[in-house]
A and B are shown apart, each in its own frame.
Chain A
């Protein structure tokens, strides 16, 4: 809107800010700055100058990537397929396990003495990184893809159980009541009243975790849990820049393709 010149002298004053609000704002910023300053030394941020002083090294290193070497492409492709297979199995097992765990950790289905312990167990599954689980399973079941599958399985179960239970807690309780009123059992209330309501969300969450697991699976090989990570790790260790570049390209393309496909699938179910 067009403002006419010389607005009349204001008859209202701008109210002063509440001092508690301002104090709180300064406190939040102060804490943030303090935390970062505290970590400055330990995190070796002062070495950022090396990015400039060692720029020549970096350039030489980067130039190695400019000519990717696809001589072993067949091998890379079979490894990336294996990586996707690990992710698929890890996710599938996790989905199966997350259904009961997710329902048992929903506060509108299970009593507190069930959902509290189940939730804490799921917290533990989530808190430990896939890579750590992979190391543990390499010790337990030996080197190879199966350790990777198990690592993804456990970690993803923790995540999906939480997501699933959040969906269950948001359902409309009325259809469930309608089913209860017919004399159905508790299990039947879940099968007919809860699952149909949450299924689209569950499928969407599962597909999203499959995408994430493909990404995670590309590094599982670093600790000997199978997949393309193992090849990647060896070529980085051996300073084979051209091969490393080729591997990274294969990984990026695969992850992109998987993301695109699963996004389209998710759109279908929602």
Chain B
């Protein structure tokens, strides 16, 4: 059971948000710029601390932060929580393989990780993850030489190696072109279905939420404006929810939203073809 319940008394960013996500769900977090999507995700990941008046955030039954303080277990819990960022947050000068191996750091003995001695098994595991997201041929290249979409898939591979049970993605496709965005979203939805990893993904455009996530949570001014099935989020409903601000949430091409919320996932292994 994944349980993230949190309340904030914070003035603007997040206002007393109570939220529970079940294990194995794939949840979209939508909202206009400044509605608190990133802040919420950064709090769940334990990268920010809530207000003193907040209750706390529990992840898999363990307390990550309580009353604005990270618990002493926070580092342990972070191992189970993978985070994917809008700007990928890879170390540009390190090879792709090393970047993905960084995912092991929370699990291998401290001295070994610090000195960079990764076992053959760990390296193989990293390679499998890289292969799964379809960029195996670039394993020895520096991360900076990869395209945006490849970098984001490398970040997903890092989270896979980490063995995360919960994956938080903070606008993972906001800085990608549509084709790369689609590939990244498919990679996320693939690991959600095949590995049962819980995914919370913040999205700027509601089309992707409708297409890949059964459940959507819509944020407005730091509060939850909607929480329910993505199919119910019609453009008209969004307009009534956000008024003028809804413009930026709806993709101009209307062809996407005609499709059902979830395609039938008959696509097998090569769901993630190499570029």
Contacts and interface: CB of A to CB of B under 8 A. Distances in A.
Is A bound to B? Answer: yes
Nearest to A185: B110
A178 interface: yes
Given A196-B91, A196-B94, A197-B91, A188 B78 contact: no
A179 B91 contact: yes
B102 A182 contact: yes
B113 A184 contact: yes
B47 A181 contact: yes
A174 interface: yes
B43 interface: no
B79 interface: yes
A188 B113 CA distance: 7
Contact of B91 (A175, A183, A187, A200): A175
A188 B118 CA distance: 14
Contacts, number: 81
A181 B94 contact: no
A242 interface: no
Interface residues of B, number: 32
B47 A180 contact: yes
A120 B75 CA distance: 32
Interface string B99-113: 000110111001001
Q: Which size class do A's interface residues fall under?
A: 20 to 34
B154 to A, nearest CB: 11
A108 to B, nearest CB: 15
A125 to B, nearest CB: 27
A199 interface: yes
Interface of B: 45, 47, 75-79, 81-83, 85, 87-94, 98, 102-103, 105-107, 110, 113-114, 116, 155, 158, 162
Q: Which 8 residue pairs spanning A and B have beta carbons closest together?
A: A183-B106, A178-B89, A183-B79, A181-B83, A184-B105, A183-B78, A174-B89, A196-B93
Given A182-B102, A185-B75, A187-B110, 18 more contacts: A178-B88, A178-B89, A178-B91, A178-B155, A181-B45, A181-B47, A181-B82, A182-B103, A183-B76, A183-B78, A183-B106, A183-B162, A184-B113, A188-B113, A192-B105, A196-B91, A199-B93, A200-B93
